Structure 1
Amino acid sequence: MKRSFYVIAVVLVLVAGGGAWYVHSKQPVRDGEMKLAHLNAPVSVRYDERGVPHIKADNEDDLYRALGYVHAQDRLFQMEILRRLARGELAEILGPKLVNNDKLFRSLRIREHADEYVARQDKNTPAWKALQAYLDGVNQYQDTHSSPIEFDVLGIEKRPFTAQDTLSIGGYLAYSFAAAFRTEPLMTFVRDRLGPDYLKVFDQPWQPDGALTQAAVLSDRDWQGLGDLALLSYQTLEKAGLPEFEGSNAWAVSGSRTQSGKPLLAGDPHIRFSVPAVWYEAQLSAPGFELYGHFQALNPFALLGHNMDFGWSLTMFQNDDLDLIAEKTNPDNPGQVWYHGAWADMTSRQEQIKVKGQEPVTFMLRQSPHGPIVNDALGNAAPDTPVAMWWSFLESENPILQGFYEANRADTLEKMRTAAQKIQSPGLNVVYANARGDIGWWAAAQLPVRPAGVNPTFILDGSSDQADKNDFYPFTANPQEENPARGYIVSANFQPVSPTGIEIPGYYNLAERGRQLDKQLSDPEVKWTLEKSKALQLGTTTDYAAQILKPLIPVLRRVISAPEEHDLIERLAAWKGDYPVDSVGATLFNQFLFNLSDQAFHDELGDGLFTTLLSTRMIDMALPRLAADANSVWWNNRNSNEPESRDNTVKVAWHATVSHLKSLYGVNPDEWTWGKAHTLTHEHPLGRQPPLDMLFNVGPFAAPGTHEVPNNLSAGIGNAPWPVSYGPSTRRLIDFAEPAHALGINPVGQSGVLFDKHYADQATRYINGEYVPERSSEKDVEGNSEAVLKLVPGR
C-alpha cells in the first residue's frame, strides 16, 4: 500500500509538473532578448504595470514589425478566430453548428472583395509597407512559438496571416454596423403584411402599393425566408462571441469651456464584450512619430489614439449603407432577373465549406446585377424570390488603411479632415481635438445617391429603379463641424444633419443618450475637467423610461387591484429612471418593458420576427409611441377571441412581470435589485461550452447602467435575468493641457492568454467605474516599466 501511495504521488507530481510546463510554454515573454528577422536595428519594448507595450524603434519599419510580434503573443487566437469569422471558415474548427454562419459570410463576398482590394493596392506606399512589416512580425511570432491553448483545444493548424485577412476583418466590422439584414425584412413585413395602421408606431411612411410590383410580390415562403435571414444575421454575431459594434459616445470641448484652457477629448465606443477585449493598447515611438493607440486584431494602425499634440475618438455613424433588393425572376429561366427593362443573367459558382468532423458542405453562391444573393445562405430553405444586397463596402474605393495611417499622424484639422475622407465604409464619426485649441467632427462615409422618394428601410424592388445608385455625394455633404461657436461637439449615434440638407437614411440610436450628454455639456457654468468628464461617462440616467411610464402609470393604478402590487406601482412611479446596482425600480421597469413588448408585438410578428424586433433599434423607437397611443392596433391580441385594449394588455403584462420576478428573486421586492438581475460576464469564444466557461470566461459582475444611457452597459429586452452583451469597450479622457496624463480602462485585460496575469486584471476596476493612466511620457513609462523585452536583428 505504501508503495502504491508513492507511485500515485509521483504520478500526480509529474502530471502537475507537466501541466505547469504546458501552461508556462503558452505565456507571453515580456523580458529578456529575442531575435526577430528583418529588423534593421534593436527595438525596445517596455511593459508597464497593465502589460501595455511601449515600443521604441529607430525607424517605422522596425516599429510596425515589433508591434505585430508583441500583438500576436498577446492576441494570436483573437486574430485567428476573427479572420475565420470574416472569411466564413468557422465550421472548420467549431463544427456543423457554424455552417450557416459561414454561408452568410461567404454570401457577403468579403473574401473576394479582400482579394480584389489587395490586388489593386500600390505596394510602395508607407501605409502598405507598414502593414507588411506588421504582418511579418505576427507571422514570425506564430512560426517560432508554441500555439495558444485554444489552437490545441480546437485542432487549429497554423497558417500565415495575410493582408487579405486584415481586409476581411475590416469587412466583418463594416457588416457588424449594418442593421439592414434585421430591420428591412421586419419593416417590410409590417408594412406589406400587416398594413399602415401597424406601421405608425415605427414612424415609417406608407406606400399604398407596397414595396414590390405585383410580378415580384413576396410569397409566404419568401416571408418565412426573410424572417430566417434576419434571425440568422442576428445570431451569427451573437453566437460567435466576438466583438460587434453597437454605438458610442464621444465629445470634444474647446479650451474656452475647460478649466485648463485647453481642449478636452472623451470617447467610449460601445462594442460587444468578449475575452480578450476588442482593443489592444500600445505606445509607438520612432523618429518623427509618436502615438499611444488602441489597435484592432491584424491592423497596424490605431483606430483610437492620441499623443502630446492631438487625439481622436470614434462613434458609429449609423448611416444606412446596405440595401436588400427583391429580384423578379424570369418564369422561363430562374437564372435571370428583370434589370433595367430586360432579362439579365445571374452569375453563380459553388462554394465548399470545410466542417469539423463531417464531410464538406457545398452550396451555390449567386449574384445579380444588383449584388450578391444573400438568402442563398439559407441553403435548401432559401425562399422563392432571390434577395440581392447592395453594400457600399463592396462598391466604394474605400482606401481605409491609408485613411487610418494618415489619422495616426493628423496633427491639424486639415490633416484629419483629409484622412476622414478616405474612411468610406463603415460609416464612422471622427471626433478630434488638438493641443493648438482645435476641435472637429466629421461623419466619415461615402453616402450613396438613391432615387428620389426611395426609403431604404424597406426591401427594394429590383424590377424597378428603386435600387439604382446614381453616384456618391461629395464629402462636403457629410455632416461635420470644426470649432463650433458653442465650444463643444458631442456624438452619440443620433441622427446628424448634413450641411447641404440632404436626407441621410440610417439606423440611428435613440436621441435621449445624446440629449443627456448635450444638456450637461451645454451648461455655461461648468468648466470641464477630467473628473467631471468621468461623471458624464458613467451616467446612468436618461428620460426614456419616464416617456414610457408617464402614460402607463395611470393605467396601472386603474387596472391593478391588489394592495401589495399597488405598492410596487408607486415604487415604479417614484423611480427616477436611473440604473445603479441597488435599484429595484430599474428591475421592475425592464421586466415590465419586456412583458409589454411580448403582449403587444409577439402575436402579430411570430417568434422569429419578434426576436428580430427586440434586436433592432426599431423597438426603442416604437415603445414610447405605443405607450402613448391608447388606440394603437398593436394592443389587440390576435390569439384572443375578444377585442383587447391597452388597459387589458398592460394589466396582463404587469401580472406577468410580478410573477416572473417573484419566481426568480422571492416575494420580497427589496431583493429585486438591478445588480442581481443585470450582470456582465466577459465571454471567450470557447466559454460558450461548459465547463470551459469556468476556465475562459471572466465574471459575472453586478453591472450598473443599461441600454442607451451614457454608461451603456446594455442587455437585450427580455425576461430577467439580463446578461450584459455590449457597452463601453474603453473609456478614454484626455486633457490637452496635460496629454501625458490621459486616462483609460480596458474592460478585462490587455492579454488574451489564459493564466497570464494581465488576462483579467482590469475587470473589477472597469465595472466599478475606475480609470487607469495611459502612460506616454518618457519619465512615466520609465518609472512604471515592469519588464523590458529587447528585439534584436536575427534569423
Structure 2
Amino acid sequence: MKRVLTLLAALLAALIVGAGWYVYSKQPSRQGLVQLQHLEGSVTVRYDERGVPHIRAESELDLYRTLGYVQAQDRLFQMEAMRRLSRGELAEVLGPKLLDTDKLFRSLRIRERADSYVAALDKQSPAWKALQAYLDGINQYQDTHAAPVEFDVLGIRKRPFTAQDSVSVAGYMAYSFAAAFRTEPVMTYVRDQLGHDYLNIFDLDWQPKGVLAHQHTPNAPSLSASDWQDLNAIARLSEQALADNGLPQFEGSNAWVIAGNHTKSGKPLLAGDPHIRFSTPAVWYEAELSAPGLELYGHHQALVPFAFLGHNLDFGWSLTMFQNDDLDLIAEKVNPDNPNQVWYRDKWVDLVTTEQQIAVKGQAPVNFTLRQSPHGPIINDVLGANAGKTPIAMWWAFLDTQNPILEGFYQLNRADTLAKARAASAKVQAPGLNIVWANAKGDIGWWAAAQLPKRPAGVKPGFILDGSTHQADKEGFYPFSANPQEENPARGYIVSANFQPVSPTGMEIPGYYNLADRGQQLNLQLSDKNLKWDIDATQKLQLGTTTGYGPRLLAPLLPVLREAVSDPQELKWVEQLALWKGDYPLESVSATLFNQFLFNLADGALHDELGNSFFDTLLSTRVIDAALPRLAANADSPWWDNRATPVRETRADVVKAAWNASLAHLKSTLGPDASQWQWGKAHTLTHNHPLGTQKPLERIFDVGPFEAPGTHEVPNNLSAKIGPAPWPVTYGPSTRRIIDFADPAHGLTINPVGQSGVPFDPHYADQAEAYVEGIYHQAHFSEEEVTANTRSTLKLLPARGVQ
C-alpha cells in the first residue's frame, strides 16, 4: 500500500511539475538577451509595472521589428484569431459551426481586396518598410517560441503573417463599423411590409412608392417571403459573427479637446475613449516607441504597426467612429431566361462567378461559389440552397476606394502640425473615423475622415436599393474639403460623440448615427464658460453615468402609469421613476426598473409586427434608440395595436402590460425585495475570450464578472443590448486617455483587462478591477520615469552575435 501511495504521489507530483512547465513555456520573456535577425543595432525594451514595453532603437526599422516581436509575445493568438475571422478561416480550427461566418467573410471579398491593395502599395515607402519589419518581428517570434496554449487546444498550425493579413484585419475593422447589414433589412421591411405610419417612429424620410415596390419601374424587383427571410438571416449572421467570437467590434466613442484658454494649465487638454466590444485580450496594445525621428506613446491593434491612438510631448490624437453609411445593400433583378444575369444600366449583364474552398475541422473541405454583380458581391449566397430568388449585392467603400489608410496612420503618428494632421486624415477613407487632435503649441482640430460617395439625388441608402435603376450608382466621391471638420473653433473646444456631423457645404451625410444625448451631455458641461478644465474635472466627465434619455422617454408615459397602477407600493416605484435623473450608479434601483420596463415596452409594441427574428435584429441597431422615445410620445402610433388579437390595443394597454411584466420578471430574476434590484447586481461586465464559449474553459480564459456602472449612451458608455434583466455589458470604453499638454509626459490611460493576452501571465487581467472602478494609470514617457518604473529589461541584439 505504501508503494502504491508513493507511486501515486510521484505521478501527481510529475503531473503538477509537467503542467507548471507547460504553462511556464507559454509565458512571455521580458528580460534577458535575444538575438533577432535583420536588426541593424541593439534595441532595449524596458517593461513597466503594467507590462507595457518602452522600446529604444537606433533606427525606425529596428523599432518596428522589435514592436512586432514583443507584441507577438503578448498577443499572438489575438493576431491569429483576427486574421482568421477577417479572411474567413475560422472553421478550419473551430469546426463546422463557424462555416457560415467564414462564408460571410468570404462573401465580403476582404481577401481579394487585401491582395489587390498590397499589390498596389509603394514597396519603397517608409510605411511599407515599417510594416514589413513589424511582420518580420512577429514571424521571428512565432518561429522560435512555443505556440500559445490556444494553438494547442485548437490544433492551429503556425504560418507566417503577411501584409495581406494586416489589410484584412483593417477590412474587418471597416466591416464592424458598417451598421447597414443589421439596419437596412429591417428598415426596408418596415417600410415595404408595414407602411408609412409604422416608419414614422424611426424618423426616416419616407418614399411613398418605395424603391423595391414592383410598380416603381417595369424592371424593378419585388421581394418574396423567402427574400425577407434571407435579409434577416444575413442581418442575424452579421451580428452573430461579430458578437460570438470574443473578438473586438467597433461601436461608438467619445473624444474631446479643449483649447488652452479654457483649461487651468493654459494648454490644450485631450480626452478620448473609443467604444469597442469587450474581449480578452483587449483590443489595444500599449507601447512607447523611441527612435531617431519618432517618439510616441501609442495604442496599437493586432497586425498594424502604426498607433491608432497616441501622443508625445508635442501632439496627440484620439478617434471616434464617423458612422457614415459607406455600405449599400442592393436588390438585383434577375433575367427570367438566364439566372446568371441581372439588369444593369438598361441591359442584362452577366454575374461574375468564382469558386473557393473552405477548410473545416473534422470534415471534408466545403466548396463555396461566390458571385458578383456590377454593384458588388452577392452576399446572400452565404445561405446556399436556402437563399431566396433575389440576389442582394453589396457596394462597400472599403472595396471601392484607394484607401491609403496605412500611409495615413504612418503620417498621423508623426503629425505635429494642423497641416500634417489634416493631410494624414485625408488618407483615411474607409472606415470612416473622426480624428480629434491637439498639439502643445495650442492648436486643436477635428477631421471626419472618410471618402464620401456621391449618390444620385433623392436616394435614401438607409433602405435596400433597387439595382435595376440608377439608384445604386455612384457618381464619384466628394473632396475631403466637404467632410465635416474644424480647426481652432472660436468656442474653444471640440466634442465628437457619434452624433450627426455637419458638412461645411451643408450637404446631407447619410449614416447610422447615435443619439444626440451623449454628445449633448458632454457639450453642456464643456460649454460652461465659468469652468477651467483640468485632469480631475475631465476624469469626472469621462466617467459620467447620467443621460436624459430615460426621463425623456418616461415623461409622456408617467401619466399613463399613474392611471394604470393602483397598488400603493407600485405607485411609489412610479414616483421614484418620476424623480429619477437618468443616472446609473451601481446602487440605483430606478435604473434597473427603467431598463426592464424599456424592454417590455418595446416587446409589447413592436414584437407582433416584426416577429421574433426581425424584432431581435432591430434591438441590435442604433435606430431603436431614437424610435422608442418617439413611440412613447405618440399615443396614436399603429405599433400599439397587437395584430394577434381581435381588439385594438392602445398605448395604455401596452404600458400597463409592460409594467406588470417588468415587475414579474424582476421579482423572479432578482428576488421579491425591490431594494435588491440594484443596477450593479443586474448590469455586469465579463471580458470574454474566444475559447470561453466552451465550458469549463471560461474559468481559465474569461475575466469577470464585475458589477458595472454606466449604461448605453452615457459618457461612461458601458452598454448592454436592450433585453430582459440581467444585462451583460457588451461594449464600452476600450481605453480611457487624458493628456494635458502642459504636462504630456504624465498622460493617463487604462486597459480594460491587461496588457497581455497570455493566460496565467501577471498582466493578463491586472487592470480589470481598476478599470471598472474608474481608476486611471499614468503612461510613463520621460526617460527618468521609465527608468524608475522599469520592472524588467529585454535586450535584442543582431543575430550575427551576442556581444
Same fold by TM-score greater than 0.5: yes
**Cross-structure match for 2:573:** 568
Displacement of 1:265 in angstroms is 0.3
On the 8 A contact 1:213/1:461 being kept in 2, the answer is no
**Cross-structure match for 2:605:** 600
Q: Find the partner of 1:583 among 582, 588, 606.
A: 588
Counterpart residue identity of residue 249, structure 1: N
Counterpart residue identity of residue 129, structure 2: K
**Cross-structure match for 1:225:** 230
Q: Find the partner of 2:678 among 668, 673, 679.
A: 673
**Cross-structure match for 1:17:** 17
**Cross-structure match for 2:713:** 708
**Cross-structure match for 1:424:** 429
Counterpart residue identity of residue 504, structure 2: P
Q: Distance in 1 between matches of 2:729 and 2:645?
A: 34
**Cross-structure match for 1:208:** 208
Task: Please say which of residues 566-575 and 427-436 is displaced more in the overlay.
Answer: 566-575
Displacement of 1:563 in angstroms is 2.1
Counterpart residue identity of residue 3, structure 1: R
Q: Deviations over 1:403-443 (max 9, x none)?
A: 00000000000000000000000000000000000000000
Counterpart residue identity of residue 520, structure 1: Q
Are 2:695 and 1:690 aligned? yes
Counterpart residue identity of residue 310, structure 2: G
Are 2:560 and 1:541 aligned? no
Displacement of 1:667 in angstroms is 1.1
Q: Secondary structure at the match of 1:454?
A: coil
Counterpart residue identity of residue 598, structure 1: D
- Written as runs of structure 1 = structure 2, the 5 A alignment for 1:78-97 is 78-97=78-97
Are 2:450 and 1:445 aligned? yes
Are 2:441 and 1:436 aligned? yes
Are 2:316 and 1:346 aligned? no
- Written as runs of structure 1 = structure 2, the 5 A alignment for 1:80-119 is 80-119=80-119
**Cross-structure match for 2:469:** 464
**Cross-structure match for 1:77:** 77
Q: Distance in 1 between matches of 2:366 and 2:242?
A: 21
On the 8 A contact 1:327/1:387 being kept in 2, the answer is yes
Q: Distance in 2 between matches of 1:183 and 1:23?
A: 44
**Cross-structure match for 2:316:** 311
Task: Please say which of residues 44-53 and 573-582 is displaced more in the overlay.
Answer: 573-582
Identity value in percent: 69
On the 8 A contact 2:517/2:549 being kept in 1, the answer is yes
Q: Secondary structure at the match of 2:360?
A: coil
**Cross-structure match for 2:134:** 134
Task: Please say which of residues 370-379 and 566-575 is displaced more in the overlay.
Answer: 566-575
Q: Distance in 1 between matches of 2:725 and 2:467?
A: 42
Q: Distance in 2 between matches of 1:198 and 1:38?
A: 64
Displacement of 1:205 in angstroms is 1.7
Q: Distance in 1 between matches of 2:177 and 2:124?
A: 31
Q: Deviations over 1:114-146 (max 9, x none)?
A: 001001111000000000000000000000000
Q: Distance in 2 between matches of 1:93 and 1:715?
A: 29
Q: Deviations over 1:280-334 (max 9, x none)?
A: 0000000121000000000000000000000000000000000000000100001
**Cross-structure match for 2:746:** 741
Displacement of 1:715 in angstroms is 0.3
**Cross-structure match for 2:196:** 196
Q: Secondary structure at the match of 1:524?
A: coil
- Written as runs of structure 1 = structure 2, the 5 A alignment for 1:211-360 is 211-214=211-214, 215-360=220-365
Q: Secondary structure at the match of 1:221?
A: helix
On the 8 A contact 1:34/1:790 being kept in 2, the answer is yes
**Any unmatched runs of 5+ in structure 1?**
none
Q: Secondary structure at the match of 1:755?
A: coil
**Cross-structure match for 1:656:** 661
Are 2:435 and 1:407 aligned? no
Q: Secondary structure at the match of 1:147?
A: coil
**Cross-structure match for 1:485:** 490
Q: Distance in 1 between matches of 2:213 and 2:335?
A: 14
Q: Distance in 1 between matches of 2:77 and 2:494?
A: 38
Counterpart residue identity of residue 99, structure 1: L
Counterpart residue identity of residue 75, structure 1: R
On the 8 A contact 2:434/2:449 being kept in 1, the answer is yes
Counterpart residue identity of residue 425, structure 1: A
On the 8 A contact 2:192/2:213 being kept in 1, the answer is no
**Cross-structure match for 1:5:** 5
Counterpart residue identity of residue 653, structure 1: A
**Cross-structure match for 1:768:** 773
Q: Secondary structure at the match of 1:472?
A: coil
Q: Distance in 2 between matches of 1:513 and 1:791?
A: 46
Q: Distance in 2 between matches of 1:286 and 1:782?
A: 17
**Cross-structure match for 1:503:** 508
**Cross-structure match for 2:154:** 154
Q: Secondary structure at the match of 1:251?
A: strand
Q: Deviations over 1:139-179 (max 9, x none)?
A: 00000000000000000000000000000000000000000
Q: Secondary structure at the match of 1:298?
A: coil
Q: Secondary structure at the match of 2:181?
A: helix
Displacement of 1:241 in angstroms is 1.5
Q: Deviations over 1:682-736 (max 9, x none)?
A: 0000011110011100000000000000000000000100000000000000000
Counterpart residue identity of residue 487, structure 2: E
Q: Secondary structure at the match of 2:557?
A: helix
Q: Deviations over 1:444-467 (max 9, x none)?
A: 000000000000000000000000
Q: Distance in 2 between matches of 1:311 and 1:181?
A: 33
Displacement of 1:639 in angstroms is 1.3
Displacement of 1:512 in angstroms is 0.3
**Any unmatched runs of 5+ in structure 2?**
215-219
Q: Secondary structure at the match of 1:385?
A: coil
Q: Distance in 1 between matches of 2:273 and 2:434?
A: 12
**Cross-structure match for 2:737:** 732
On the 8 A contact 1:537/1:710 being kept in 2, the answer is yes
Q: Secondary structure at the match of 1:448?
A: coil
Normalized against structure 1, the TM-score is what?
1.00
Q: Secondary structure at the match of 2:436?
A: strand
Displacement of 1:564 in angstroms is 2.2
Counterpart residue identity of residue 725, structure 1: T
Q: Secondary structure at the match of 1:471?
A: coil
**Cross-structure match for 2:177:** 177
Q: Distance in 1 between matches of 2:94 and 2:607?
A: 33
**Cross-structure match for 2:217:** none
On the 8 A contact 2:341/2:348 being kept in 1, the answer is yes
Are 2:501 and 1:475 aligned? no
On the 8 A contact 2:380/2:391 being kept in 1, the answer is yes
On the 8 A contact 1:681/1:698 being kept in 2, the answer is yes
On the 8 A contact 2:685/2:704 being kept in 1, the answer is yes
Displacement of 1:646 in angstroms is 0.2
On the 8 A contact 1:55/1:67 being kept in 2, the answer is yes
On the 8 A contact 1:188/1:211 being kept in 2, the answer is no
Displacement of 1:213 in angstroms is 4.9
Q: Deviations over 1:749-791 (max 9, x none)?
A: 0000000000000000000000000011000100000000000
